[in-house]
Amino acid sequence: MNILILGSGGREHALAWAVKQNPKCDRLIVAPGNAGIAEIAECALFDINDGGAVVTFAEENAVNFVMIGPEAPLAAGVADRLQEAGILVFGPSAAAAQLEASKSFTKEVCDAAGAPTAGWAQFTDADAAKRYITDIGLPLVIKADGLAAGKGVIIPESLDDALTAIDEMFGGAFGAAGAEVVIEEFMEGEEASFFVLCDGENLLPIGTAQDHKRVGEGDTGPNTGGMGAYSPAPVLTDEVAKKAMDEIIGPTMKVMAERGMPYRGVLYAGLMIKDGQPRLVEYNARFGDPECQVLMMRLGAQALDLMLATAEGRLDTAQVNWADDHALTVVMAAKGYPGPYEKGSEIKGLDKIPEDSKHMVFHAGTTEADGHITATGGRVLNVTARGDSLREAHDEAYAMVDRIDWPEGFCRRDIGWRALG
């Protein structure tokens, strides 16, 4: 079959890498892709947030199956347009993707499902929000309701910071995403991510991961899109996973179906776990980046079969074949990230790194010209390895990092520290 993947990051490189190993895949196209993806797939350029353009491209290229990587095309209804055109798609409808696109929508669904999550209140004007904050006091979490590229969450350290954050959000710091603000109870515990496929009715867990959101070692400094990740997440034991399925994911998926917006795709549940009890922090309607890289490293070619089963509504007959393995990815970013950084520096040494089923450098923000690879983004490479233990995966990944010659880049040296002990 001919497969089209939408997106340009390390997540999409990992998806392409896994899909490509499956004999069912004939032609593989990624739009827009990047320099690493171009080594294993065709890249195409069109507006991936424009459902009409995606359908036209898919029809002209006899595409049988489309996988949607990032959230923006989901929220823009690209999956809906593909479905209307009779093209098989992995990724939820815009209505179902509200689980990521609107915090208050998700909170309300959780309440209807009785799913454990932080207490919350929603505000549409600054004065009421400030009165509420002054009333209940810290700790609390302030969130822009809509999509804010992972930046719309503030955990204030003082009442002043909290009140300033409210003014900034209603003042347009996060654009339309901040027109409504959700204020949540602060939950303590350890965070982990749980990935579950849902075909509208049936559920199939496909793995757990933990990422490192802060830019600095020891999990310090500003938040980023993620500086590294590993799978599985030790804190998400079988018992915790079962609770998350029975109390959170199962019931919320049922509410979605009952409301006429069945969820089809991968559900990424961010969980806060304390004393063996999971509570929902957030849902995302897509794979995490860089969590996807460690999941794909472990799943390999079967990822395509699982995503097809999801799109075709037959997850009840699908199963995951687990190896008892571990994967870890180290993000290499441009110096300055997540603040301002330079683009265009050259990355050398990539051709000397052997890539196989246990070692891959996924590209996140690169371009190629005349045989030279240059950095074009903040997060640039995802150096990923798989091993029999997390320690082995860690050591292999950092051995690869050390062979990359890119003075303008940096990475954290402590990815996996919590699980490595």
Q: Which does 12 bind (CB under 5 to 8 A by kind): ligand GLY, ligand AMP, none?
A: none
Piece of the chain touching ligand AMP by CB under 6 A; list 83-91, 123-131, 184-192, 256-264: 184-192
- Is residue 380 close enough to count as binding ligand AMP by CB under 6 A? no
- Which C-beta is closer to ligand AMP: that of 215 or that of 307? 215
Helix (H, G, I), strand (E, B) or coil at 31: strand
Alpha carbons 279 and 165: distance in angstroms, whole number: 25
- Selected binder of ligand AMP within 32, 234, 251, 270 (CB under 6 A): 270
Q: Give the integer Cα–Cα distance in Å for 398 and 394.
A: 6
**Cβ 153 to ligand GLY shortest distance, Å:** 11
Distance CA 107, CA 145 (A): 11
Q: Show the tokens assigned to 69.
A: 């990587």
118 binds, among ligand GLY, ligand AMP, none (CB under 5 to 8 A by kind): ligand AMP
> Is residue 145 a contact residue for ligand AMP (CB under 6 A)?
no
Interaction between residue 281 and ligand AMP (CB under 6 A) = yes
User: Among 180, 184, 247, 396, which residue interacts with ligand AMP (rule: CB under 6 A)?
Assistant: 184
Q: Per rule CB under 6 A, is residue 3 in the interface with ligand AMP?
A: no
Does 118 engage in binding with ligand AMP (CB under 6 A)?
Answer: yes
**Of 68, 153, 192, 227, which one interacts with ligand AMP (CB under 6 A)?**
153
User: Which of 225/377 has CB closer to ligand GLY?
Assistant: 225
Name beta bridge partners: 363: 381
191 is a site residue for ligand AMP (CB under 6 A): yes
C-alpha–C-alpha distance, residues 393 and 193, integer Å: 19
Q: Kindly state the tokens that stand for 371.
A: 């045989």
Q: Which does 180 bind (CB under 5 to 8 A by kind): ligand AMP, ligand GLY, none?
A: none
| Separation between Cα atoms, residue 344 and residue 367, nearest integer Å | 9
CA–CA gap between residue 205 and residue 236 (Å, rounded)? 12
Residue with tokens 């995802």: 382
Residue 281: contacted member of ligand GLY, ligand AMP, none (CB under 5 to 8 Å, by partner type): ligand AMP
Count of helix runs (H) and strand runs (E) in the chain? 14, 23
Say whether 326 sits in a helix, a strand or coil: strand
Report helix, strand or coil for 397: helix
Q: Which residues bind ligand AMP (CB under 6 A)?
A: 118, 141, 150, 153, 184-187, 191, 213, 270, 281-282
